[in-house]
């Protein structure tokens, strides 16, 4: 895939997200497939018409979208953004394209926490993609980390994924470093809060940025975990996440899986 083609996909995905703020239906009409748009956000009905139909309401409530970083992997574009509606939120949206049109969408949204133990925000940090030639090995490294550590297949390997205690953390309740991660996990255990990854559904990577989409349980709720990792020299260097509980079936507006 050429850089020009990648840039085109990103441009279209960004235009669609920005239309949620502007209320202008043009980008959605142009870049979303008219009758093959699969919606995995279970608060919205399936199809392009539902997206177009939501614009007036989104504008009415003062929706704002500020896109911070983009990752392109084949026909997939992932955008990491700050949303404003009913307060600031962090969102990760994934769009799948076919022949230049968006045919599928997944997302996760979480309330933005202003004061974090790491003193980073949930969205700041590097945005420029590096290590383009290492995309495949970085995806393999992150997949291995999620499987061995977060899914618990081989927790003894934890230290091998990091450069000592150096680990920049944007997750809102965890301090920097492996030590911060240990302390947070220990605290959950002490409070009997279940935190369990059960399955990886998607791995989307470009250069040093890799996004994983996983399913699991958090504090008794069926949960979607979106994790963005930045890899540097073969080690995990930085992490952002967006965690959202999955709607119970009675509240869902479409019959698609969350994943």
Q: What is the pLDDT of residues 108-126, one digit of tens each?
A: 999 999 999 999 999 999 9
Among residues 89, 115, 141, the one where a domain terminates is 115
Residue 161 lies in a domain: yes
Could you tell me if 106 and 202 lie in one domain? no
Mean pLDDT throughout 47-70?
A: 95
CA-to-CA distance for 33 and 48, rounded, in angstroms?
7
Could you tell me if 162 and 225 lie in one domain? yes
Pick left, alpha or beta for residue 145 (phi over 0 → left; psi -120 to 50 → alpha; otherwise beta): alpha
Could you tell me if 146 and 177 lie in one domain? yes
Could you tell me if 68 and 19 lie in one domain? yes
Which residue is listed with tokens 């990792």? Answer: 229
Contact yes or no for 123/68 (Cβ under 8 A)? yes
Could you tell me if 224 and 142 lie in one domain? yes
Residue 258 lies in a domain: no
CA nearest neighbour of 120 among 259, 238, 8, 25: 238
Residue 252 lies in a domain: no
Domain of residue 137 covers 132-245
Residue 180 lies in a domain: yes
Residue 256 lies in a domain: no
SS3 251: helix
List, in order, residues 6 or more apart from 249 with CB less than 8 Å away.
none
Question: pLDDT by residue (tens digit) across 192-243?
Answer: 998 999 999 999 999 999 999 999 999 999 999 999 999 999 999 999 999 9
Mean pLDDT throughout 82-98?
A: 97
Query: How many domains does the chain contain in total?
Result: 2
SS3 238: strand
Domain with residue 149: its CATH number is 3.10.450.50
Could you tell me if 11 and 92 lie in one domain? yes
Residue 196 lies in a domain: yes
Is pTM, for the whole model, over 0.95? yes
CA-to-CA distance for 205 and 170, rounded, in angstroms?
19
Could you tell me if 91 and 139 lie in one domain? no
CA-to-CA distance for 158 and 31, rounded, in angstroms?
42
């Amino acid at each position: 895939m050429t850089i020009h083609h990648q840039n085109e996909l990103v441009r279209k995905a960004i235009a669609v997200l920005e239309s949620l703020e502007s209320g202008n239906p043009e980008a959605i009409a142009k870049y979303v497939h008219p009758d093959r748009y699969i919606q995995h956000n279970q608060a919205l009905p399936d199809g392009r018409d539902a997206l177009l139909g939501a614009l007036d309401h989104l504008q009415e409530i003062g929706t704002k979208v500020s896109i911070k970083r983009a990752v392109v992997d084949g026909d997939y574009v992932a955008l990491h953004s700050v949303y404003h509606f009913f307060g600031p939120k962090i969102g990760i949206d994934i769009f799948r394209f076919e022949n230049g049109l968006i045919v599928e969408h997944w997302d996760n949204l979480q309330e933005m926490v202003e004061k974090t133990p790491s003193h980073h925000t949930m969205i700041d940090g590097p945005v420029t993609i590096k290590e383009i030639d290492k995309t495949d090995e970085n995806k393999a490294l992150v997949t291995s980390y999620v499987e061995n550590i977060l899914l618990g297949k081989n927790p003894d390997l934890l230290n091998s994924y990091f450069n000592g205690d150096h680990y920049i953390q944007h997750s809102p309740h965890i301090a920097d470093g492996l030590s911060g991660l240990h302390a947070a996990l220990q605290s959950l255990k002490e409070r009997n809060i279940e935190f369990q990854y059960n399955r990886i559904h998607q791995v989307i990577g470009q250069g040093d940025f890799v996004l994983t989409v996983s399913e699991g349980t958090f504090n008794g709720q069926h949960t979607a975990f979106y994790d963005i990792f930045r890899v540097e020299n073969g080690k995990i260097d930085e992490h952002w996440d967006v965690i959202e509980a999955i709607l119970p079936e009675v509240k869902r507006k479409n019959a698609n899986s969350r994943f």
